[in-house]
Chain A
Amino acid sequence: MKNVLTAAVLMLAATTVSAQAPPGAAAVEPELGVLAPSNLAKPRPKAPFNLTGTWFVDLNFPGSWRFGPPYPKLTPAAQVHFDASRKAQAEGKVYRDDIGQCWPAGVPLIMTRVWSIAMVQLPTVVYMVSGFMNSLRIVNMDGRPHTDPDLVVRSFNGDSIGRWEGDALVVDTTGFIDHHHWIDSGVPASDALPIVERIRLVGPNGTKLQIEYTMTDPKSWEGEWKVTKQWNRVDSRDMEIAEVVCLPDLNSHIPSTQSKENIR
């Protein structure tokens, strides 16, 4: 009887192994997700600060919520959009207002939409959820590289990897989608755009957050485009984020998104 049991256990073990890896191949440990307890528990240097909280763009900071002016020297392809945008603006018209048609704002514009942003920091990841359209940013901090370019699913908020560098959290984002994605009115973002954000807590006891953006996009502008924005920590309950979605039947009630004067 004992021999029968031993044989059964060995057969079961062999079956299990063969289900996990082809014969002759070494079994590969699955990569841990950012919320896996064993990943969270790995020893890491202490983070210089904690972003967890609710943040609201500082409209009194120079530049407020817009990314430009000033603008970098645009490529001819981007200049076509920029000129059309300024012409429309001079005529009191809206140019390619994709956000008004429910397209995601995308990074970087989603960060300054004049809505609260909830941030949750863990040792392995930072989640940023904008109150505007509940847009989710995931900044992976567990040491992984960017997603393989052949595998990445391009998105409006991109593929973000963060690392601590002195007193800053440096976030490198690539993998952006290249349509209906704008940095400012008439300034398109392309699939060649990487953005590096240097995030620091400033002000008394870290109640202000600053991000220095360095954006390069050879399809849309020349060189580096640097912009700094600031947010205030807001702690009151009425500044918490809530469910916000863009719906076709809502938009039908919003006259400025439906005007026949808009240039699509």
Chain B
Amino acid sequence: MKWRFAGCVAVAVTALAGPALAHHSAAGIDRSKSVTLVGTVRQFGWTNPHSWMEVDVPADAGGMVTWKVEMTSPAFLVRAGWKSTTVKPGDRVSVVVRPLRSGDPGGLFVSVTLPTGQVLGERAVLPAPAPAPTP
């Protein structure tokens, strides 16, 4: 397969990354590994509670493998600089994910390199608490 393991590059996953995806447990994700997918966007879903992306990646044996990439909610993506139009079907991208432990072609989104060369993540930024009202 053309996608390659980036090895155990221990890119620190912030403590917030887990709960920010608080739809469900992420125990099936191997956070010790990164996989870089170089391929073509098949679909992109700008949806709640999770956005998602499907990326067609050429397989060594020929044909394509479709990777399912799980992302956080649009509200958090907007904080990281995303728009609903940031990626679209047909875009050539490079996507870094934390892969599923099962070995199935799927994983948790870390970052994308867009056709323009721009790199976007989904760093979950804590919302600013309301300032105390002045007396």
Contact = CB atoms under 8 A, between A and B. Distances in A.
B132 A92 contact: no
Interface string B56-74: 0000000000001110010
A3 interface: no
Interface residues of A, number: 49
Nearest to B50: A254
Nearest to A250: B47
A236 B28 contact: no
A65 B22 CA distance: 10
B130 A233 contact: yes
Nearest to A244: B48
A262 interface: yes
Interface stretch (A21-29, A142-150, A203-211): A203-211
A205 B28 CA distance: 42
Contacts of B29: 256
A215 B47 CA distance: 35
Interface string A227-264: 00000111110110011111000100111111111100
Contacts of B75: 238-239, 242
A250 B132 contact: no
Interface in A58-86: 59, 64-65
B130 A132 contact: no
A202 to B, nearest CB: 12
Interface string B84-109: 00000000000000001110101110
Contacts of A116: 127
A259 B78 CA distance: 28
Main SS of the interface on chain A? loop
A93 interface: yes
A97 interface: yes
Contacts of B16: 59
Chain B contact residues (Cβ within 8 angstroms of A): what range? 35 or more
Main SS of the interface on chain B? loop
A81 B128 CA distance: 38
A115 interface: yes
B19 interface: yes
A114 interface: yes
Given A207-B130, A253-B45, A100 B54 contact: no
A74 to B, nearest CB: 19
A255 B70 contact: yes
A92 B30 contact: yes
B50 A99 contact: no
B24 to A, nearest CB: 3
Given A255-B69, A259-B100, 17 more contacts: A89-B27, A93-B27, A94-B24, A95-B27, A99-B25, A115-B22, A133-B49, A238-B79, A239-B75, A244-B48, A245-B48, A253-B54, A253-B68, A254-B68, A255-B106, A257-B23, A257-B24
22 contacts: A89-B27, A92-B28, A94-B24, A94-B28, A95-B25, A113-B22, A115-B22, A132-B49, A204-B132, A207-B132, A232-B129, A234-B128, A238-B127, A242-B48, A244-B49, A253-B45, A254-B70, A256-B25, A256-B100, A257-B23, A259-B100, A261-B101
